[in-house]
Amino acid sequence: MSNTVPAADTGLPNLNRRSALAKLGVGIAATSSLVATSAIAASPAASSPLSDPIFALIEDYEALETKALGLYQKLDEAEAAARLTHGSRPFELIAWRNYSAIGEEEIRSAHDDFIEQGNVDPIEMEAEYLDAKARRVAAERAASKWDQRAGVAPMREQLRLANVATKQAAFQLGRTKPTTPAGAAALIACVLRYVEDEITDGSWSVTALKTTAAALARMNVDAA
C-alpha cells in the first residue's frame, strides 16, 4: 500500500503565517524531533526510522527549516547594516482599498472578492486591479534594486531557494502516512507548534491534539 495521499490538502499549515518570519515562509524547529526521539527510544522495534518513513521526513524538513532560518537571520543582519548607507529597503507590498499591505498572491483574490460583493463598478474595478498589479511590480523592482545596491541580492536568492526546498519538504511530509503510532505522534507534534501560534491559548483543540500525540506515543510502550 502506498504511504502517500492526494496533495490537494496536506494538512500542514502555510509556513508563511509564522508571525516572526511571515514574509519569508520559514519557521523554527522545536518539539517534534524530541517527541520522535522519545518515541523511538520507547519502542525501537515498533517505531524506528527504518520502519516508519515519517521520522526521516520530519528530520529532513526540520533540517531545511533550520537552514532557512539561519539564512534569514544572516540576511536580516546584513539588511540592518546596509540601512546605515542605503536607507530602508522599499516595501514590496502595496495598499489597495481596505488592504494596507497586500502582495502578488492576494491581489487577484482581493479583486475577486470586491467583484463578488457586488458594490463596485466592474470596469472601474478592472482598472484598479491593473493599477494594483503595476504598483506591486514597481515595488518589487525597487526592492530588488535596493538589494543590488546593498550587496544582499545573492543572500536573498539563497533564502528564496531554501524556502522553496522547505515548502516542498513540508508538502511531502503532509502527504505521507505514518506507519506507526509513534510516527503519527511525531507528525502531530510537528504540526502542533504551528497550530499553537494561531489558536487562542487554552483552546480545547490544542489540548486534544497534545493528548492524542501522547496517547499514540504511549501505544508503542504498551505494545512492547
The predicted-structure confidence for 106-154, as pLDDT tens digits, reads as follows 999 999 999 998 888 989 999 999 999 999 999 999 999 999 999 999 9
- Which residues constitute the domain of residue 185? 15-85+147-223
Note whether residue 126 is domain-resident.
Answer: no
Note whether residue 108 is domain-resident.
Answer: no
Which grid cell sits at 140?
Answer: 518589487
Percent of the chain past pLDDT 70, that is, above it, reads 71
Note whether residue 92 is domain-resident.
Answer: no
Asked if the model's pLDDT at residue 19 lies above 50, the reply is: no
Q: Residue 137 has what pLDDT? A: 96
Tell me which amino acid residue 197 is. D
Mean pLDDT across the chain, nearest whole number?
79
Asked if the model's pLDDT at residue 202 lies above 70, the reply is: no
Note whether residue 131 is domain-resident.
Answer: no
Nearest CA-CA partner of 129 in 144, 147, 114: 114
Q: State how far the Cα of 62 lies from the Cα of 48, in Å rounded to an integer.
A: 18
Note whether residue 188 is domain-resident.
Answer: yes
The tally of domains found in the chain comes to: 1
Which residue matches cell numbers 546593498? 150
Asked if the model's pLDDT at residue 164 lies above 60, the reply is: yes
Give residue-wise pLDDT tens across range 173-184.
989 999 999 899
Model pTM score: 0.69
For the chain, helix (H) and strand (E) counts, in that order, are: 8, 2
Q: State how far the Cα of 187 lies from the Cα of 39, in Å rounded to an integer.
A: 12
Note whether residue 119 is domain-resident.
Answer: no
Note whether residue 117 is domain-resident.
Answer: no
DSSP code, position 17: G
Measured in whole angstroms, how far is the alpha carbon of residue 203 from the centre of its chain? Answer: 22
Note whether residue 217 is domain-resident.
Answer: yes
